[in-house]
Amino acid sequence: MKITGARVIVCCPGRNFVTLKLETDAGLTGLGDASLNGRELAVASYLTEHVVPLLIGRDASRIEDTWQYLYRGAYWRRGPVTMSAIAAVDTALWDIKAKAAGMPLYQLLGGASRERVLVYAHANGRDIAETVDEVHRHAALGYRAIRAQSGVPGLDKVYGVATDRKPYEPATKGLPLEQDWDSSRYLRHAPKLFEAVRDAIGWDYELLHDVHHRLTPIEAARLGKDLEPYRLFWMEDATPAENQEAFRLIRQHTTTPLAVGEIFNTVWDCKDLIQHQLIDFIRTTVVHAGGITHLRRIADLAALYQVRTGSHGATDLSPVCMGAALHFDLWVPNFGIQEHMPHNEATDEVFPHAYRYEAGFMHPGEAPGHGVEIDEKLAANYPYDRAYLPVNRLQRDGALWDW
């Protein structure tokens, strides 16, 4: 079976998505997500200008060879743009292979290891009371695991807290939004949030929290310690991880489980963290970490050290990524949890899908392939609309800080 066509479709049904569609001489098509929030067109052009010409005429069944060809062959390795482009090709090829076999993708990976995929929801509010309300609302929707974020007294805008109570904030039109930050205010506030949430919801729910890279290692260590009484499922992205050793310091001080990896692209970004057992959950996902082929490599390394998966699943990843991730989650033996933020209605219409949510869990469905398609006509009604992620500045002196 040969690849006869490859097209990049960019659309914006609320958020910007980049989708690669492969066609074959057998009449089968496959889809891969290549969305990189705020830098979408870099991946689109990497694909169109440099990858698509290499794909035409290739054997669609040679997924591994194509992965190696694009990774080693480029000479310039790793990085979010390269790895998202490779991921899109890889995901589309797995989609085609599973369709050719007449099977849902998880069957090709080795079959289901579980009946359903545990997902966590997002609860956020401008203050603690509002966040507690949101936690209750998500519990009523059936979620067993809930991430809680709240505004911080004295700070204008904080990551994870949507403006106008919209479900999701990152990426706005015009210049990047400037948020302000003060680690001391945040460090005083976060334990109070979890004390209130535990008081309100009790102990039958898993609670999660995202620090979004904003603390230094020693501050992260202190937060982990202060949150211990509330038994979090994880504390996410406590500090930036370019220096993987930084996590050793956090680890020495706290038993709060640590998650990281939504911005990682390859196993090399995770390697030290996993091998030295400095983390508990690895959050790499299909679209930004080289597709199913590479994610499987990361998960297998993690399994050796009892590190479990917890794939990124924000709404800036398209339903194509979500579908593929859910097949992966249903199979992967060392599964931990999957992030779930429902897409808006327009996105769900543009990307009809077989996956479904039910009472705190998801399932990828039984459609052959990964079960996600694109309505190209509808997609054409939503042209690309440039948007940027916010930047973060210290309240004290306006210096640029981590976001």
**Binding status of residue 329 toward ligand CS2 by CB under 6 A:** no
Distance from the Cα of residue 29 to its chain's centroid: 25
The one catalytic residue in 122, 138, 189, 212 is 212
Q: By the 8 A CB rule, do 212 and 223 touch?
A: no
319 Cβ contact partners less than 8 Å away, ≥ 6 residues apart: 343, 347, 348, 351, 353, 355, 372
Q: Closest separation between CB of residue 38 and ligand CS2, Å?
A: 7
Q: Which among Mg ion, ligand CS2, none contacts residue 316 (Cβ within 5 to 8 A by kind)?
A: ligand CS2
**H-helix or E-strand spanning residue 335:** strand 335-339
Q: Is 159 one of the annotated active-site residues of the chain?
A: yes
Q: Which among Mg ion, ligand CS2, none contacts residue 37 (Cβ within 5 to 8 A by kind)?
A: ligand CS2
**Binding status of residue 210 toward Mg ion by CB under 5 A:** yes
- Distance, CA of 59 to CA of 64 (rounded, Å): 11
The one catalytic residue in 71, 106, 143, 159 is 159
Q: Which among Mg ion, ligand CS2, none contacts residue 363 (Cβ within 5 to 8 A by kind)?
A: none
Q: Which CB sits closer to Mg ion, 259 or 298? A: 259
Q: Closest separation between CB of residue 103 and ligand CS2, Å?
A: 30
Q: Which among Mg ion, ligand CS2, none contacts residue 314 (Cβ within 5 to 8 A by kind)?
A: ligand CS2
Q: Which CB sits closer to Mg ion, 226 or 339? A: 339
**Binding status of residue 40 toward ligand CS2 by CB under 6 A:** no
Q: Closest separation between CB of residue 195 and ligand CS2, Å?
A: 22
Q: Closest separation between CB of residue 314 and ligand CS2, Å?
A: 4
**Binding status of residue 170 toward ligand CS2 by CB under 6 A:** yes
Q: Which CB sits closer to ligand CS2, 52 or 190? A: 190
Contacts to ligand CS2 from residues 347-376, by CB under 6 A: none
Contacts to ligand CS2 from residues 247-276, by CB under 6 A: 262
- Distance, CA of 134 to CA of 148 (rounded, Å): 9
- The DSSP result for 166-194, as a single string, is -S----BSSSPPEEEE-HHHHHHHHHHHH
Task: Provide the token pair at 125.
Answer: 């509010």
Q: Closest separation between CB of residue 97 and ligand CS2, Å?
A: 28
> Residue 371 pairs with which residues in a beta bridge?
none
Identity of the residue numbered 238:
A
Is residue 377 classed as helix, strand or coil in its secondary structure? helix
**Binding status of residue 314 toward ligand CS2 by CB under 6 A:** yes
Q: Is 213 one of the annotated active-site residues of the chain?
A: no
* Strand pairing category for 117-125 and 361-363: antiparallel
Q: Which among ligand CS2, Mg ion, none contacts residue 353 (Cβ within 5 to 8 A by kind)?
A: none
Choosing from 210, 280, 329, 373, the residue that interacts with ligand CS2 (CB under 6 A) is: 210
CA distances from 6 to 31, 47, 71, 384 (A): 10, 9, 18, 19
Stretch that binds ligand CS2, among 16-24, 199-207, 309-317, 368-376 (CB under 6 A): 309-317
Contacts to ligand CS2 from residues 42-101, by CB under 6 A: none
Distance from the Cα of residue 198 to its chain's centroid: 26
Q: By the 8 A CB rule, do 98 and 107 touch?
A: yes
Site string for Mg ion, 252-291 (x = CB under 5 A): ----------x-----------------------------
Q: Compute how many other C-beta atoms are within 10 angstroms of the C-beta atom of residue 176.
A: 15
Among the listed residues 327, 313, 233, 240, the one whose alpha carbon sits nearest the alpha carbon of residue 280? 233
Q: Closest separation between CB of residue 179 and ligand CS2, Å?
A: 12
| Helix residue ranges, H only, 74-227 | 80-101, 105-109, 128-140, 183-201, 217-227
Rounded-to-10 torsion of CA 306, 232, 238, 320: 70
**Binding status of residue 37 toward ligand CS2 by CB under 6 A:** yes
Helix axes 80-101, 319-331, angle to 10 degrees: 70
Q: Closest separation between CB of residue 314 and Mg ion, Å?
A: 7
- State the number of binding residues for ligand CS2 (CB under 6 A): 10
**Binding status of residue 169 toward Mg ion by CB under 5 A:** no
- Distance, CA of 353 to CA of 104 (rounded, Å): 12
**Binding status of residue 212 toward ligand CS2 by CB under 6 A:** yes
Catalytic residues: 159, 212
Q: Which residues bind ligand CS2 (CB under 6 A)?
A: 37, 170, 210, 212, 262, 312, 314, 316, 339, 389
Binding site for Mg ion (CB under 5 A): 210, 262
